[in-house]
Amino acid sequence: MAMAIVLTVAPGVPALAEAPPPPPPATTTETPAPTGETPAPAEQSPAPKLEPGLAADGDGARVIVEVTAPAEAVPVAGEAQALPGAEVVLQPPDTSFIVVEGTSESLAALAQDPRVVSVRRDRTYSPVSLASGLKLIGADQAQAEGANGEGKMIAVIDTGIDRDHSALGGKVVEEACFSATDDGAKSLCPGGADTQTGQGSADAKTPMCVEGTINLCDHGTHVAGIAHAVAPGADIAAIQVFSRIDDCEGGEVCLSAYESTILLALDHVAKLKDSHPGLVAVNLSLGGGLYERACDGEPEIGAMKQKIETLRAKGVVTVAAAGNEGTSGAGAPGCISGAVTVGATGDDDRVPEWSNYGSVLDLFAPGVEVDSAVPNGGTAVYSGTSMSTPHVTGALAALAGKSADATPDALVGKLTAAGRPIVYDGVTTPRLDLYGALTGRAPSPPATQE
C-alpha cells in the first residue's frame, strides 16, 4: 500500500512548515491578427489538476481528490480503487471529495478523469502552541453586565475535550470525532473508527490520548476552558480532528490533523448551526504552512476557504490562530481572509517574539502564560496564539448574546473597532477589548512596539 505523507509537530511546539510551492505560472499563446482585425484574446492554459511535485514522489502520497459534484464521488472512488497502487481511505457521504493513498503513477492516472477537479496533498495541521487576561479584555466587566454568552454556542475543533471538567461548567452539549487512520496514523475516536458522533465521541481521556503519564490531547480542553471563561453562559460543541502518530521525528509520539478531517468537521459545524441557531463561532487553534499575505487565491486553500465562507453566510464566524513562528504572516486557515485571525500579546500589551504578526491578522488577544483546564480535572499554564484565539471566540459569543440579530460582520466589526491599537512595523492591529465592544467606548491609547 502507498505511504501516507505525514508532517507533524508535537502539541505545544510551533509548526515550522513552509508554505507549499505555488503552481507553475500559466502560459499564454498569442497569434498575430491580420491587419485591421482586433487581435484575439490570449488563451490561458488550465491549471494542472495534479498538484506539482506529487508525480515525483516515488513512495506515493495521501491526497484529497476533489470531484465536480458529490454524486461523482462514488464512481470516482470506484475508479481509484481499481487503479494499481491506489487505495481509497476515506469516502465521506454527501461531499465532493474522497481521500486516496496512491503511487505517483496511480494519482497521475486519476487526475485524467474529467470528473476530477484536483488531486492535492491531504496536508496536516498541528496545534499552535486566565484571570489577568480576562480583566485585560474587559470580560469581567462584560459579564457583570450580563454579557456571558447565554443562549449562544461555540464550536471547538481541536484535540477533544474533558467534558466533565469542572472548569467547563457542564456546558459541553455536542461532541463529534473525525480522526484519520492509515499506516502511520491511529484514530483518537473512542471507538477506534474514523468518525464518531454523540456524547463521549470527543473524549480527550481515551487511552489513545495517553502516552505514559502524558495526556497528548490536553490542548483542546485548555482552549475550550479559555473560551468558557470569557463566555461562561455559552454552550460548547467539541470536535476532535487529530490522529495519533507513533513515529514522529525523533521517535516521539505526536498528534496531527489531516486537512480532510478538518473539512469534515467544518461541514459538521454547518449542520450543527441548523439545529443550534445560537452557534456563532468556531475556534481553530491549529495551523499549517506559512503565508505572508491573504492566501485566498492559493489552489490548496480553495476547499477550506469555501467551508469558511459557507459558515460565515450561515452566521458562524471562524476564528483561527495566526501561528507561533515569530514572523509576519499566518498559517492556514488563519491566512484565509474570511477567518478572524488572532495573534498573541502579554498582559503588558507587548507582542511576544514567537507570535506571528502583520497585516494578515485581525486581532491580538492575551496568549502569554494562560492558566486553563486540562484533562482529569487539572490546570496548566500554556503560551501561544492557540490561547489567544479562544479569547476572541468567547468574546464573539458574549457580544452576540447582547447584540440581537447582529451579523457576523457586525460582531467582528465591533471587536476590531473597540480594540486597543498595537502599533509595530508600520502595521496597526487592535487588541481585543470585549467591554469596549459592548459599550462602544473609545479605544485605549495606542501601544507602540519598539
What is the C-alpha separation between 177 and 190, in angstroms, rounded? 9
Determine the average pLDDT of the residues in 316-330. 97
Question: Which of 113, 122, 158, 162 does the annotation list as catalytic?
Answer: 158
The strand pair at 116-121 and 243-245 is best described as unpaired
Pick left, alpha or beta for residue 281 (phi over 0 → left; psi -120 to 50 → alpha; otherwise beta).
beta
Residue 6, pLDDT above cutoff 70: no
Higher pLDDT, 369 or 20: 369
Q: Averaged over 190-200, what is the pLDDT? A: 97
pLDDT at 213 over 60: yes
Mean pLDDT of 190-207: 97
Rounded Cα–Cα distance for residues 367 and 432 (Å): 12
What's the pLDDT tens digit per position in 22-81? 333 333 333 333 333 333 434 444 458 999 887 565 678 999 999 999 999 999 999 999
pLDDT at 321: 98
Q: Among residues 201, 260, 386, 388, which one is catalytic?
A: 386
Give the residue-averaged pLDDT of 334-358. 96
Contact in structure between 126 and 216 (CB atoms under 8 Å): no
Q: What pLDDT digit, counting tens, does each position of 401-448 carry?
A: 998 789 999 999 999 999 999 999 999 999 999 999 999 999 999 999
C-alpha–C-alpha distance, residues 321 and 330, integer Å: 8
From the candidates 219, 222, 228, 268, which is the catalytic residue? 219
Q: Is the pLDDT of residue 1 over 60?
A: no
158 is catalytic: yes
CB-neighbour burial class of residue 214 (10 A; exposed 0-12, middle 13-18, buried 19+)? exposed
Which pLDDT value is given to residue 405?
80
pLDDT of residue 126: 74
Contact assessment for residue 365 and residue 388, using Cβ atoms and an 8 Å cutoff? yes
To the query of whether residue 219 is one of the catalytic residues in this protein, the response is: yes
pLDDT in tens, 274-294: 999 999 999 999 999 999 999
What percent of the chain has pLDDT above 70?
88
* Rounded mean pLDDT, 8-13: 33
pLDDT at position 440 is 94
Average pLDDT in the chain: 88
CA 297 to chain centroid: 17
Confidence band (pLDDT; 50, 70, 90) for 131?
A: confident
- Give 145-192 pLDDT, tens digit per residue: 999 999 999 999 999 999 999 999 999 999 999 999 988 899 999 999
- Give the least confident one: 91-105, 257-271, 316-330: 91-105
pLDDT for 249:
82
pLDDT of residue 58: 60
Mean pLDDT score, 336-356: 96
Please give the pLDDT value at position 54.
78
pLDDT tens-digit series, residues 81-119: 999 999 999 999 889 999 999 999 999 999 999 999 999
Domains of the chain: residue spans and CATH: 49-122 (3.30.70.920), 125-448 (3.40.50.200)
Place of cell 457542564: 170
159 neighbors 129 (Cβ within 8 angstroms): no
Active site residue 165: no
